[in-house]
Structure 1
Amino acid sequence: MQNNNEAHRDDITIGEESTAQYVRPALKTGHTIPDFRLMSVEGAAISPTDYKGRKNLVIIFFDAHSSSDLVMLSLVGRRYQEIADDNAEVLAISVGPIDELQTCAADFHFQFPLLSDMHSQAACSYCVVGSMIFVADKFGELKMQSDISEANIDEKLDKALSALELIELECPECGVSTWPVE
Structure 2
Amino acid sequence: MTKLKAGDKAPNFSAKDEQGNTISLSDYKGKKLVVFFYPKASTPTCTTEACNLRDNYKDLQDKGYEILGVSADSAKRQSNFKNKYDFPYPLLADEDKEVIKAFGVWGEKKFMGRTFDGIHRVTFVIDENGIIEKVIDKVKAKIHTEQILE
Which TM-score band applies after superposition, normalised by the shorter structure?
0.7 to 0.9
- 8 Å Cα contact 1:95/1:117 also seen in 2: yes
Structure 2 spans left out of the alignment, 5+ residues: 106-118
Match of 1:43 among 6, 17, 20: 20
2:149 equivalent in structure 1: 161
Deviation at 1:147, TM superposition (A): 2.4
User: Identity rate of aligned residues, in percent?
Assistant: 25
2:116 equivalent in structure 1: none
**Root mean square deviation, CA, Å:** 1.6
1:136 equivalent in structure 2: 126
What TM-score results when the alignment is normalised by the length of structure 2?
0.83
Give the greater-gyration-radius structure (CA). Answer: 1
Q: What is the aligned length? A: 136
- For residue 119 of structure 1, what is the amino acid of its counterpart? D
Report the structure, 1 or 2, having the larger helix content. Answer: 1
CA distance in 2 between counterparts of 1:96 and 1:144 reads 25
- 8 Å Cα contact 1:148/1:156 also seen in 2: no
Asked if residue 119 in structure 1 is aligned to residue 119 in structure 2, the reply is no
CA distance in 2 between counterparts of 1:73 and 1:117 reads 17
Kindly indicate whether structure 1 or structure 2 has the higher relative contact order, using CA contacts under 8 Å at least 6 residues apart: 2
CA distance in 1 between counterparts of 2:74 and 2:88 reads 20
What TM-score results when the alignment is normalised by the length of structure 1?
0.69
- 8 Å Cα contact 1:146/1:156 also seen in 2: no
Moved segments of 4+, more than 6 Å: none
CA distance in 2 between counterparts of 1:106 and 1:36 reads 24
1:71 equivalent in structure 2: 48
